[in-house]
Structure 1
Amino acid sequence: METIILQLMEVFKGLSYFGIMLALTFEFMPAELVLPLAGYWVYEGDLILYGAILAGSIGGVLGPLTLYALGRYGGRPMVLKYGKYFLVTEEHINKSDRFFEKYGGGVAFFGRFLPGVRTAVSIPCGMAKMNVWKFIFFTYIAMLPITTVYVYLGFKLGPQWTQAGEIFSQYANLLLVPIAAIIVLMIVKRRKRVKSI
């Protein structure tokens, strides 16, 4: 499967930044592979670092948006029927449902940091008819730090870019928890500022 994905990525490479966005739109294309490879393309001089991060972050929203739409317009029966084509199992859906019930709309942000939930978390957001702009916003601010770390690792590792996933998983909590905490604090401060006006 990885070989097929890498062959597809050579096609997407010809589309430059749009190719990165397009690759991440398909949920079967793992970001753990696509983003470090984009970083390697930066290392080779084919892309600019900030452009690759932006394209990866936008693509990281487009993929979940397809699952959000599946949940919103198809409901649970359609998700159970077609979710397998997006590598989403019934177990993923059940975990995401429980997580959504517990944390509400914030799952569009926090769910991105949790294995076993991150892929399917968009579905209960869609089924609950969460505001689509709110969903896009929370998904984007969650995907931005993840994308940045993966692309930067691919860039720094150069020809050894395939090791990025392993390195990322070792240090994910150390890297992402503080970033998530900072973003949450920024949102809370902004809300307080808006309420005081």
Structure 2
Amino acid sequence: MDTVLQFISGIPIFYIYLVLAFTIFMENIMPLVPGDTFLVFSAYFAGRGVLNPLFTYILTVVSSLSGFLLIYLIGFHWGRDYFERKNYSFFSQKRIQKADHYFNKYGDWVLIINRFLPGIRFLVAIIAGFTRIQLLKSFFYTAISVIVWNGIIFQLGRLLGENWHKVVALISQYNRVVTLIIVSLLAIFIIYRIRRKTVKLGEIK
């Protein structure tokens, strides 16, 4: 790791911050980008004095929120108009209204915990815009989520130092468990909807 540290130390600090900000930003747009891993690395390098700890943390928060806002605005300005105009059967006007109802009812909590939900941060952002949740409210709740999540990961990365790989392994395990739970709940919901629809068709016959 000392070799990597020496290599990183030789790179102009501006480019290190630029790559970090871009990666954290892109994670909100492309879920496969390992933003949390870069967050751990940045915390480690901040702990070793390569990066300024406070500035690095603030940069990760701003980058995360910027990525969220971009996707939110895309959903707000173009996503809804597109689906309302096309009126697809799988996402009809009726289903759009249902999405509005559910997200307006539970959206605040979803936004607060969205950083803790791996793989669906992009979906949360675009649905928040799509359902026209107020921008300031969406930003406020997402900011809480980002500040807490980034703070936890950043602090763990700094405290564990040379054992940074344990933080990465812990995050990977956490992501797998949460993803499994989300997929299981989604499968249960789909099965429930199919069975309910089948029962209704049987009653009609």
Q: Same fold by TM (over 0.5)?
A: yes
Q: Is the 8 A contact 1:72 1:126 kept in 2?
A: yes
**Residue of structure 2 in register with 1:33 after alignment:** 37
Q: How many residues in Structure 1 have an aligned counterpart in Structure 2?
A: 148
Instruction: Give structure 1 stretches of 5+ with no counterpart.
Output: 1-9, 80-96, 173-197
**Residues 78 and 52 of structure 1, relative CA distance in 2, 3 Å threshold:** farther
For 1:21, the equivalent position in structure 2 comes to 21
Give the fraction of aligned pairs with identical amino acids, expressed as a percent: 27
* Structure 1 position 50 matched with structure 2 position 54: yes
Deviation at 1:102, TM superposition (A): 5.0
Q: Distance in 2 between matches of 1:144 and 1:75?
A: 27
Q: Identify which range, 123-132 or 44-53, moves more after superposition.
A: 44-53
- The reply to whether residue 59 of structure 1 matches residue 63 of structure 2 is yes
Gaps of 5+ in 2: 1-9, 84-98, 176-205
Q: CA RMSD, aligned part only?
A: 3.4
Letter in 2 for 1:63: G
CA contact (8 A) 1:52 1:151 kept: no
Aligned residue in 1 for 2:156: 153
Structure 1 residue 105, shift from structure 2 partner: 3.6
CA deviations over 1:2-58 (Å, ceiling 9, x no partner)? xxxxxxxx9896435454333211123322211001112112311222222211111
Q: How does 1:44-123 map to 2 (within 5 A)?
A: 44-75=48-79, 100=103, 102-123=105-126
Letter in 2 for 1:161: W
Change (3 A) 1:162 1:77: farther
CA shift in 2, pair 1:11/1:139, >3 Å? farther
From the superposition, tell whether residues 100 and 51 of structure 1 become closer, same or farther in structure 2 (CA, over 3 Å).
Answer: same
SS in 2 for 1:36: helix
Q: Distance in 1 between matches of 2:163 and 2:135?
A: 38
Distance 1:159 1:126 in 2: 40
Q: Determine the structure 2 residue equivalent to 1:189.
A: none
Structure 1 residues 30 and 171, CA gap change in structure 2 (3 angstroms): closer
In the alignment, the residues of structure 2 paired with residue 114 and residue 12 of structure 1 have an alpha-carbon distance, to the nearest angstrom, of 34
Whole-angstrom distance in 1 between the partners of 2:162 and 2:81:
44
Helix, strand or coil at the partner of 1:120: helix
Q: Matches of 1:54 and 1:164 in 2, distance apart?
A: 20
The answer to whether the aligner puts 1:125 opposite 2:128 as a matched pair is yes
Conserved? CA contact 1:13–1:19, under 8 Å? no
Measure, in 2, the Cα distance between the counterparts of 1:132 and 1:12: 36
When normalised by structure 1's length, the TM-score is 0.60
Counterpart pick for 1:136 among 131, 139, 142: 139
SS in 2 for 1:119: helix
Q: TM-score, normalised by structure 2?
A: 0.58
Distance 1:11 1:69 in 2: 35
